[in-house]
Amino acid sequence: MIDCDIHNQLPSLETLVPYLEEHWRAYIRESAFVGPDVNDYPEGTGIPARPGTTPPSGGPPGSDPGFLCAQTLDAWDLELGILNCTYWVQSVHNEYLASALATAINTWQAEHWLTADSRLRASLVVPSQNPALAAQEIDRMGHHPGFVQVILPVRSWTPYGNRRFDPLYEAALRHDLVVGIHFGGSSGNPPTPCGWPSTYLEEYAGMSQVFQSQVLSLISEGTFDRYPGLRVALIEGGFTWMPSLMWRLDKEWRGLRRDIPWVKRPPSEYIREHIRLTLQPVDAPPQSRQMLEILEQMDGQDLLMYSSDYPHRHYDAPEEALPDQLPDLHWDRIGTENAREFYRL
């Protein structure tokens, strides 16, 4: 199996200091800067960590490569695991600092993680609030065979179909990298389309709205028409909402295609060709047969890729992360082959 969503965690901002230029070392030492102001997984919700994932060496869950590999690659007998570092430098308003942090994180990932186990792959952290700087970072590290993806927070300043992101996509394509859009981020925009919610529950369970907005944007703005080779993974966003989005988009496109005349095929065809979704968190319906219906409605056997979301807590083991009674045929595809083809592993 290939796990498409394992989280490697920065132990602390201190970890990056050796990878930063003197200017930023002094800045961090002498200012109150403590890192990006993001709180995607608040302590105490139970979501940040499965029990037993805190490394014996100390540090937060997901911060020790050996311990992480033992609990994921070894324990679940994984063929490969893709690391998604969600250190959102996008939330640092000083773009030069954001860029420096991204550079430090990616070098740290290459030296500290990709050397730890040959089964690990990683995702490039980029200052996507400035796509030109993001492209520079992709060009700096994109040649490294361990990096298979550029990771972006689903909560963006501007929808990802906007042409300002073109330099980022062009750089990703130059290095044959998937663009992964992942749960979370704190762009400054509310996490709902109707303003700020009061509770974490609303933000956490409602994030699928943001994912849908990004899919709408990418298709409508013609991102896949401009970049026919672009591959986008939707990570940790759920997937049961996808069938209705496909139906609605195809239906409305018939009468409103004049708004987006570059889109010459039903939008669901773009989704099937360019987009994949990771498994966790599963919005499990009450009965397993209902999950099979959803998988059928969205061609789930071809569009889904297995993910544990380690160390985040949804289930305890990969077999329990699967919807009940999923046929073996689907598991071959979802567990391994879809990711192998999509990430070209």
Partner 1 sequence: MPLQRHLVCRVDSLPPGSRKLVKIGARSIGVFNVGGRFYALRNSCPHQGGPVCLGHLTGFPTSPTPGEFEYLRKGEILRCPWHGWEFDVKTGQSWFDPARLRVATYPARVESGASLAAEHPGPESDREMSGLRPGPYVLETYPVAVEQNYVVVEVPGTSRGSRVQR
Closest approach, Cβ 179 to partner 1, in A, equals 17
Q: How far apart are the first and last CA of the chain?
A: 12
In angstroms, the CA 309 to CA 321 distance is: 10
* 282: DSSP letter: P
Least separation in angstroms between residue 191's CB and partner 1 is 28
In the complex with partner 1, the residue whose CB is nearer, 119 or 226, is 226
Rg of the chain (C-alpha set): 19
Place of tokens 């987009």: 275
Compute the least distance from the CB of residue 256 to partner 1, in Å. Answer: 6
Could you give the dihedral angle defined by the CA atoms of residues 59, 62, 65 and 69, in that order, rounded to the nearest 10 degrees?
140
CB of 274 to partner 1, least distance (A): 14
* Least spacing, CB of residue 253 vs partner 1, in Å: 7
d(CA 11, CA 143): 26
Q: Least distance (Å) from partner 1 to the CB of residue 230?
A: 13
Omega before residue 18 within 30° of 0, cis: no
CB of 257 to partner 1, least distance (A): 6
Q: Which residues bind partner 1 (CB under 8 A)?
A: 163, 221-223, 225-226, 250, 253-258, 261-262, 264-266, 269
Minimum distance from residue 29 beta carbon to partner 1 (Å): 46
- The DSSP result for 213-237, as a single string, is HHHHHHHHTTHHHH-TT--EEEESS
291 versus 303: smaller Cβ distance to partner 1: 303
**Cα-Cα-Cα-Cα dihedral sign, residues 325, 327, 330, 334:** positive
By beta-carbon proximity to partner 1, the closer residue of 86 and 223 is 223
Which tokens is 342 given? Answer: 């999509």
Instruction: Beginning with the edge strand found earlier in the chain, give each strand of the sheet holding 147-153 in spatial order.
Output: 2-6, 80-83, 120-125, 147-153, 178-182, 232-235, 275-278, 304-305
* CA proximity to 214, closest of 166, 181, 179: 181
Burial class (CB in 10 A: 0-12, 13-18, 19+), 27: middle
